[in-house]
C-alpha cells in the first residue's frame, strides 16, 4: 500500500461522543453525512436523493439551515458548466432553451446518516 489508513471513528453526533473523541476534540477532523431528498417539480411523485458530506472542525452537527445551504450550493453547482470561452452555461439551457435558465427544485427532507472523525496529522491512504 501507499501508506497507512487514517485512523477514523464512526459516531452518531446526536448522542454522547466516544471517549477517544471527547478527550481530544481539536485533534480530530469531522465529516457529517446526510441524505437530502428534493423534488424538481410539483408533479414528481418520488423525491430524488443527494448524498451530502459536510466537513467541520467540531463534532457538533451542522444546523438544518447549514445543511440546506450546502445542498442548495451543490444542486445549483451541478447544473452549471464552464464553456471554452470562459462563460458559464446551464445544463438546462440545452434541454429547455434560453428562457429557462434556472434549475427549479425544493428540498423535502435532510436525513442525518452518520459522522466520522479522522485523526489529524496522519497521512491519507
Report the predicted TM-score, pTM, of the whole model to 2 decimal places: 0.73
SS3 readout for the chain: CCCCCCCEEEECCCCCCCHHHHCCHHHEEEEEEEEEEEECCCCCCCCEEEEEEEEECCCCCCCHHHHHHHHHHHHHHCCEEECCCCCEEEHHHHHHCCCCCCCCCEEEEEEEEEEEEEECCCCCC
**5-59 pLDDT, tens per residue?**
679 999 999 999 999 999 999 999 999 999 999 998 777 888 899 999 999 999 9
**54-99 pLDDT, tens per residue?**
999 999 999 999 999 888 888 876 544 445 454 444 454 444 444 4
Q: Which three cell numbers stand for residue 43?
A: 408533479
Amino acid at each position: 500500500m501507499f501508506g497507512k489508513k487514517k485512523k477514523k471513528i464512526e459516531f452518531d453526533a446526536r448522542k454522547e461522543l466516544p471517549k477517544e473523541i471527547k478527550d481530544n476534540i481539536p485533534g480530530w477532523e469531522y465529516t457529517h453525512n446526510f441524505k437530502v431528498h428534493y423534488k424538481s417539480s410539483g408533479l414528481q411523485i418520488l423525491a430524488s436523493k443527494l448524498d451530502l458530506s459536510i466537513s467541520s472542525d467540531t463534532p457538533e452537527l451542522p444546523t438544518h439551515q447549514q445543511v440546506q445551504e450546502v445542498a442548495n450550493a451543490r444542486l445549483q453547482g451541478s447544473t452549471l458548466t464552464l464553456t471554452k470561452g470562459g462563460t458559464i452555461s446551464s445544463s438546462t439551457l440545452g434541454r429547455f432553451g434560453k428562457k429557462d435558465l434556472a434549475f427549479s427544485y425544493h428540498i423535502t427532507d435532510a436525513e442525518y446518516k452518520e459522522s466520522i472523525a479522522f485523526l489529524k496529522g496522519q497521512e491519507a491512504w
